[in-house]
Chain A
């Protein structure tokens, strides 16, 4: 359990985040750079859709059907929107590797540019939520405390008080939220991936989502302080009880053995 919490404090964690951030920025740049060239806008868009269609045919069609209509192996993608694609592919969940209770988060195998192309193609199949912009999930103007209240009302029941994750039925689980890109958190709330229910803007407004993301960053972010010391994975009484037994009572028993042990006798000679 120590490991778990230590992992995000790992010296390499910062590096990983940095690389991720670089990759994201690069990807965003790649996505937006052509768009800024005004004239080529529409052409670029249709180009992206074409590219996305090719990628789709290779990587996705076997489960989701050639036109995104869905098969027995995968749901229909018509109308899921670009946000869903960006979330699923951007967190490595798609393409799925093997059937199981739940598709886990994995290494991302597509570049952000490719993901955007895929997203553009899927979005062209039917209207759905678009990929949020940085203004939507960024920290500016967010109310952390209100985000906490919203998080406890809408999210904590599955993801734990501070987003450490938890169990669902039959091997499914709500994943931990540490180290998840704010964009992906936003998209998850918007689209409701897998068994997670969606929280559309009508019932959880854009501002609400922003607040929640800011709260998560405050209590479960990279530099979140754990004032009392080692957080034991933030799992609550189970890990605390284990620690009390192993290191608390265990340590005291070691001390007791020393207190009660016989002092070494002088060698008989």
Chain B
């Protein structure tokens, strides 16, 4: 009560209306202490830091357009005869879901646009999350204290895949129905419980009468609800940790350099929402997506060639397509390895990238906070692991569209499949080796630049006739930026005899860690960065340039 007089004074004065509203809210919600911490929050400027925003905004766009679509979509598999305005479907039997999607596309003004925005935004959302995740990976932004946020982001990506898949299946068209059938077949392959899960999910035999309604509640309620929560948590953590930044003059692990939220990022980030929405709306006005009217209503005995899922499921599709048809029969049971192995590999493949931060932190044993980003070249092994992972992903993605690849590049579909089968194992290994080499080369070049300066492009002739290229020394800023990264030393196995002279057998994990650490930071895995002594020795005395 002691503050009452001052509050009175504050609101009774001639303060502007906005301030009075804010005061009112603060008295009830405590917004001022929140604003104090965040209103002038600093964000560093870099285009790659905006990838996450692309995701967030496309997610918001998806929610907005999705709510609109629920007003017109009928999640029902009841059979109806179509009488809408799309002539090539008139009089055809179809589910209400398909018919209402045709209505949204042809009989509701703007419905087609919103449907297309919704679908384009979904593809871009997933693509954005993928690139954002790779940005975080290659710059080491997942290191302490951000491991949990990495997992949140990863979960968002995986949930996004399934939300996309369930949404894609809702119109009950021939293409998406084929995808659902594939899912059901994959579920059947699960040992012991497969048939039960399938019966429960579809309310009986495939396709039954239930899956559209069930997918609908999963698509519009369950998954987006979880995702919204995760996204809010993800953002809170970004604010709480403060954004990472690249090394540079004045940028340290103990500060963050950039522009304040109010006003610059309010305008930039707020504006970026409109830019993203604008671009997606324009695309939806110009380019068609998933023209279900041309695909036809789902019938489990019909199919069209070129049956692919949306791109984010493409790598799962590729795994399934490349797998040989292994099936084991024993004691009256069937183990459908040809489907079940890809299903497991799908999970493992994603888990590898999700768990990577924990593996790396175990190898380095580093428990410090990291807020300065790595340049990918300065972490050659991590970068190589990432590129290898992407290579595996891309090769299976190609496998997911092997028929389109075959027809458009005049190849045999069997050859493409064999390429994927071999490439899935060979490609990542090659990519790993090549990437590591390139990183080391770039590190060498950086070192060269620090010690000998930048090639000026000016050729000089010396008095005795020799031609040399002038190297300009780097500025202080550049010198700092190029030498700011840390280099780890490989971990060694500790002494095998302890202080009391008792022999100690190093644990297996300890040996493994030493081995991995050596692979990460040994002589062949990084170029020692130039030292002050080296620099001084070269720059002093010689007066070469």
Contact at B88–A228, with CB atoms within 8 Å?
A: no
Interface residues of B in 87-103 (CB under 8 A from A): 87-92
Q: Residue A256 contacts which of B54, B127, B403, B414 (CB distance < 8 angstroms)?
A: B54
Contact at A148–B88, with CB atoms within 8 Å?
A: yes
- By a CB distance below 8 angstroms, the chain A residues around B106 are 227
* B296 in contact (CB, < 8 A): yes
Q: Residue A161 contacts which of B48, B174, B301 (CB distance < 8 angstroms)?
A: B174
Interface residues of A in 127-172 (CB under 8 A from B): 144-149, 152-153, 156-162, 164-171
Contact at A229–B288, with CB atoms within 8 Å?
A: yes
How many residues of B sit at the interface, in one of the four size bands?
35 or more
Closest A residue by C-beta to B105: A227
Given A240-B289, A252-B128: A152 touches B413 (CB 8 Å cut-off): no
Question: Within the assembled complex, what's the spacing in Å between the Cα atoms of A70 and B308?
Answer: 41
Given A165-B407, A244-B120, A245-B127: A170 touches B413 (CB 8 Å cut-off): yes
Contact at B290–A101, with CB atoms within 8 Å?
A: no
Q: Residue B131 contacts which of A173, A239, A249 (CB distance < 8 angstroms)?
A: A249
Contact at A145–B88, with CB atoms within 8 Å?
A: yes
Contact at B287–A168, with CB atoms within 8 Å?
A: no
Closest B residue by C-beta to A252: B54
Contact at B287–A145, with CB atoms within 8 Å?
A: no
* B497 in contact (CB, < 8 A): no
Segment at the A interface, from B225-233, B278-286, B452-460: B278-286
- By a CB distance below 8 angstroms, the chain B residues around A235 are 306, 404
Contact at B304–A226, with CB atoms within 8 Å?
A: no
Contact at A236–B175, with CB atoms within 8 Å?
A: yes
Question: Within the assembled complex, what's the spacing in Å between the Cα atoms of A148 and B293?
Answer: 11
- Judged by DSSP, the binding face of A is helix
Contact at A145–B283, with CB atoms within 8 Å?
A: no
Question: Within the assembled complex, what's the spacing in Å between the Cα atoms of A238 and B307?
Answer: 9
Contact at B306–A228, with CB atoms within 8 Å?
A: no
Contact at B411–A171, with CB atoms within 8 Å?
A: yes
- Judged by DSSP, the binding face of B is helix
Contact at A240–B311, with CB atoms within 8 Å?
A: yes
- By a CB distance below 8 angstroms, the chain B residues around A240 are 123, 289-290, 310-311
* B191 in contact (CB, < 8 A): no
Contact at B54–A101, with CB atoms within 8 Å?
A: no
* A230 in contact (CB, < 8 A): yes
- By a CB distance below 8 angstroms, the chain A residues around B293 are 227
* A63 in contact (CB, < 8 A): no
* B51 in contact (CB, < 8 A): yes
Q: Residue A156 contacts which of B92, B131, B305 (CB distance < 8 angstroms)?
A: B305
Question: Within the assembled complex, what's the spacing in Å between the Cα atoms of A230 and B289?
Answer: 9
- By a CB distance below 8 angstroms, the chain B residues around A215 are 88
Segment at the B interface, from A71-79, A186-194, A259-267: A259-267
Question: Within the assembled complex, what's the spacing in Å between the Cα atoms of A239 and B290?
Answer: 11
- By a CB distance below 8 angstroms, the chain B residues around A144 are 87-88
- By a CB distance below 8 angstroms, the chain A residues around B272 are 255-256, 259
* B25 in contact (CB, < 8 A): no
Contact at A171–B410, with CB atoms within 8 Å?
A: yes
- By a CB distance below 8 angstroms, the chain A residues around B50 are 256, 259-260
* B46 in contact (CB, < 8 A): yes
Question: Within the assembled complex, what's the spacing in Å between the Cα atoms of A259 and B53?
Answer: 12
Contact at A228–B112, with CB atoms within 8 Å?
A: yes
Interface residues of A in 214-265 (CB under 8 A from B): 215, 218-219, 226-232, 234-245, 247-249, 251-253, 255-257, 259-262
* B291 in contact (CB, < 8 A): yes
Closest A residue by C-beta to B305: A166
Question: Within the assembled complex, what's the spacing in Å between the Cα atoms of A237 and B290?
Answer: 7
| Interface mask (B101-113 → A, CB under 8 Å = 1, otherwise 0) | 0000110000010
Interface residues of B in 320-375 (CB under 8 A from A): none
- By a CB distance below 8 angstroms, the chain B residues around A157 are 302-305
- By a CB distance below 8 angstroms, the chain B residues around A55 are none
* A174 in contact (CB, < 8 A): yes
- By a CB distance below 8 angstroms, the chain A residues around B49 are 260
Distance (whole angstroms) from the CB of A229 to the closest CB of chain B: 5
- By a CB distance below 8 angstroms, the chain A residues around B67 are none
- By a CB distance below 8 angstroms, the chain B residues around A219 are 88, 294
* B213 in contact (CB, < 8 A): no
Contact at A164–B311, with CB atoms within 8 Å?
A: no
Contact at B51–A244, with CB atoms within 8 Å?
A: no
- By a CB distance below 8 angstroms, the chain A residues around B51 are 253, 256
Question: Within the assembled complex, what's the spacing in Å between the Cα atoms of A256 and B413?
Answer: 39
Distance (whole angstroms) from the CB of B178 to the closest CB of chain A: 11
* B391 in contact (CB, < 8 A): no
Question: Within the assembled complex, what's the spacing in Å between the Cα atoms of A231 and B225?
Answer: 33
* B401 in contact (CB, < 8 A): yes
Distance (whole angstroms) from the CB of A225 to the closest CB of chain B: 10
Q: Residue A227 contacts which of B175, B288, B306, B308 (CB distance < 8 angstroms)?
A: B288
Closest A residue by C-beta to B282: A251
* B428 in contact (CB, < 8 A): no
Contact at B124–A244, with CB atoms within 8 Å?
A: yes
Contact at A247–B123, with CB atoms within 8 Å?
A: no
Distance (whole angstroms) from the CB of A168 to the closest CB of chain B: 7
Question: Within the assembled complex, what's the spacing in Å between the Cα atoms of A220 and B284?
Answer: 21
Contact at B120–A248, with CB atoms within 8 Å?
A: yes
* B153 in contact (CB, < 8 A): no
Given A228-B289, A238-B401: A260 touches B46 (CB 8 Å cut-off): yes
- By a CB distance below 8 angstroms, the chain A residues around B285 are 229
Q: Residue B268 contacts which of A226, A227, A259 (CB distance < 8 angstroms)?
A: A259
Closest A residue by C-beta to B312: A241
| Interface mask (B191-208 → A, CB under 8 Å = 1, otherwise 0) | 000000000000000000
* B240 in contact (CB, < 8 A): no
Contact at A226–B413, with CB atoms within 8 Å?
A: no
Interface residues of B in 46-92 (CB under 8 A from A): 46-51, 53-54, 87-92
Contact at B47–A161, with CB atoms within 8 Å?
A: no
Closest B residue by C-beta to A218: B88
- By a CB distance below 8 angstroms, the chain B residues around A262 are 45
A/B interface sample: 8 pairs, CB < 8 A: A149-B296, A153-B301, A166-B305, A167-B413, A171-B413, A227-B112, A236-B290, A236-B306
Nearest 4 pairs of A and B residues by beta carbon: A241-B311, A228-B288, A166-B305, A244-B123
Chain A residues packing against B (C-beta within 8 Å): 101, 144-149, 152-153, 156-162, 164-171, 173-174, 215, 218-219, 226-232, 234-245, 247-249, 251-253, 255-257, 259-262
Task: Add 19 more A-B contacts to A228-B116, A256-B50, A259-B272 (CB < 8 A).
Answer: A144-B87, A145-B88, A152-B302, A153-B299, A156-B302, A160-B306, A161-B296, A165-B305, A168-B413, A173-B407, A234-B294, A235-B404, A237-B309, A239-B404, A243-B287, A256-B51, A257-B47, A260-B268, A262-B45
